[in-house]
Amino acid sequence: MSPTTAPAGHAVVIGAGMAGLTIATALSTAFQRVTVLDRDQLPWQAKHRSGVPQGRHVHVLLAAGTQALEALYPGLTDELTAAGAPTGDIDRLRVCLNGHRLARARTGRHGVMASRPLIEAHVHDRVRRDPAVTVIDRREVRGLATSGDRRRVTGVRIGSPGDAGEQTLAAELVVDCSGRGSPLPAWLGELGYVGPPVDELPLDLCYATCRYHVPCEVDDDLMAMVGPMPDKARGAAMMRVEDGSWLVTLAAYGEQPPLEPHGFEAFAATLASDDIYRSLVRGQALEAPSAFRFPASVRHRYEHLGDFPAGLLAAGDAVCSFNPIYGQGMTVAALEAVTLGRLLADGVTPPAQRWFAAVSAIVDQPWGLALAADLALECVQGHRSLATRALNRYIARLHAAAAHDPELTRQFAQVTSLLEAPARLLRPATVARVARGALRRSTPPP
């Protein structure tokens, strides 16, 4: 891969989703000008938009993501809270995994429950207030401009959606944050480069989401989650959001949860716990459910490419698109932006190889966690190594033990919220707690 020059001049970011906005903030510390281009018409307030159709569905911000966003935008959590986003200790989450309701654990950490449009609107507002950054909507990036020998990207070819006219916007650096449908592998092919190897786990995951009014006396928690079972790949999450309503997302592998109200609630009754169903039947649907289909988790291994044009990077879903039920995408995007800021502080734009190695190091843990959890489901087709099978048996025992052991819930949450490495759960003291839990269950009461 060719070296990249010292940061200066102009950087272009393709896409104003969570990755594009946070990456723009990181770039603005080193580049004189940063332009973010999005083909969508971007709203000024928290509103759904067609370029981010997933925004209608539950979007959990993991603790590591809250920390990363706070590092990029100090005071953001307070702003979201002031805008109505419910916050509270994680012990106000009701979580059922592998059929076990985990004991509530006090962590001292506050979670922020906000809709995806609210989070994006506040981040967008911060970016707009940065004098180095210009966000331009209704501009579609159609391709890359390069030097004559195609070794360096020199800008992007842009046009307005629906208009064939095209112009070139010059830049010293282009960062592709165009999301899961990124055209970057195709653009590389057109320039004569080999595209990245791709790791893919087919899931055929289907979402149905509906907003509900649920009175506080029925449900005073911040969130409830019921995970899928190995032999019944259905789950759900409901989250209280900024307007006081609840966003309820039903998820199933290989089948679409019903999109009409009665079927929607009946589906909730078939989950491993009736926790969510009980709230829904005493609440009231506020809209018709909407659907989303997620065919596969996809990871582009750009870090394995030996030849890549200078002046070009990628981040966010354009590199790795995770199974959404684990709530990792926004957190990973924010962690990548924090890392880019750190690398730029060295005074040079990281060469592609260094950047993609750093991204890969961030992606490894969430990708590994999601893959292992999906492979615990019988309906998911994929290679299960002995280690994966053993790990999934252990995690099922850990969930059973955590039903009576808040400390195990806390440790599990630390790992799944990306604050600690999975090895945390394999420490001797933790393994002993899990074993004691199994012993307690197998010992009949006197």
Ligand X SMILES: Cc1cc2nc3c(=O)[nH]c(=O)nc-3n(C[C@H](O)[C@H](O)[C@H](O)COP(=O)(O)OP(=O)(O)OC[C@H]3O[C@@H](n4cnc5c(N)ncnc54)[C@H](O)[C@@H]3O)c2cc1C
**Which residues touch 22 (CB under 8 Å, ≥6 apart)?**
69, 72, 123, 333, 334, 336, 337
Please give the angle made by the CA atoms of 14, 18 and 22, to the nearest 5 degrees: 80
265 contributes a contact to ligand X by CB under 6 A: no
Choose, by CB under 6 A, the member of 329, 341, 351, 437 that binds ligand X.
329
Give the Cα separation of 270 and 273 in Å (integer): 8
Contact positions with ligand X (CB under 6 A) in 191-250: 207
374 contributes a contact to ligand X by CB under 6 A: no
Token pair recorded at residue 269: 């009754």
- Smallest distance from the beta carbon of 268 to ligand X, in angstroms? 18
Q: Specify the DSSP element, H or E, that contains 323.
A: none
- Smallest distance from the beta carbon of 389 to ligand X, in angstroms? 27
Burial pattern 10-38, b for ≥16 Cβ within 10 A else e, equals bbbbbbbbbbbbbbbbbbbebbebbbbbb
Nearest to 86 by CA among 60, 108, 105, 104: 60
Token pair recorded at residue 164: 């064939």
Token pair recorded at residue 111: 């979670």
- Smallest distance from the beta carbon of 327 to ligand X, in angstroms? 4
- Binding string to ligand X for residues 97 to 136, with x set by CB under 6 A, is what? ----------------------------------------
- Smallest distance from the beta carbon of 112 to ligand X, in angstroms? 12
Q: Which is nearer to ligand X, 143 or 261 (CB)?
A: 143
E-strand ranges in 150-197 read: 153-159, 167-170, 173-176
Nearest to 371 by CA among 322, 414, 318: 322
15 contributes a contact to ligand X by CB under 6 A: yes
Choose, by CB under 6 A, the member of 25, 66, 98, 331 that binds ligand X.
331
Contact positions with ligand X (CB under 6 A) in 405-444: none
Choose, by CB under 6 A, the member of 328, 409, 411, 417 that binds ligand X.
328
Choose, by CB under 6 A, the member of 294, 308, 355, 412 that binds ligand X.
294
- Partners of residue 158 on adjacent β-strands: 141, 167
Q: Which is nearer to ligand X, 320 or 425 (CB)?
A: 320
350 contributes a contact to ligand X by CB under 6 A: no
- Smallest distance from the beta carbon of 297 to ligand X, in angstroms? 11
Stretch that binds ligand X, among 16-24, 228-236, 375-383, 386-394 (CB under 6 A): 16-24
292 contributes a contact to ligand X by CB under 6 A: yes
Secondary structure class of 308 (helix, strand, coil): coil
Q: 67 φ, ψ to 5°?
A: -65, -45
- Smallest distance from the beta carbon of 278 to ligand X, in angstroms? 23
Count the residues of the shown chain that bind ligand X, applying the rule CB under 6 A.
37
Contact positions with ligand X (CB under 6 A) in 36-65: 37-40, 51-52, 54, 57-60
Q: Which is nearer to ligand X, 64 or 343 (CB)?
A: 64
Choose, by CB under 6 A, the member of 34, 133, 333, 408 that binds ligand X.
333
148 near 139, Cβ under 8 Å? no
Secondary structure class of 356 (helix, strand, coil): helix
Choose, by CB under 6 A, the member of 16, 97, 203, 391 that binds ligand X.
16
**Which residues touch 2 (CB under 8 Å, ≥6 apart)?**
151, 152, 308, 309, 310, 351, 352
179 contributes a contact to ligand X by CB under 6 A: yes
Stretch that binds ligand X, among 33-41, 74-82, 224-232, 252-260 (CB under 6 A): 33-41
- Smallest distance from the beta carbon of 176 to ligand X, in angstroms? 9
Give the Cα separation of 29 and 340 in Å (integer): 10
Interface with ligand X (CB under 6 A): 14-20, 37-40, 51-52, 54, 57-60, 140-141, 177-180, 207, 292, 294, 316-318, 324, 327-331, 333
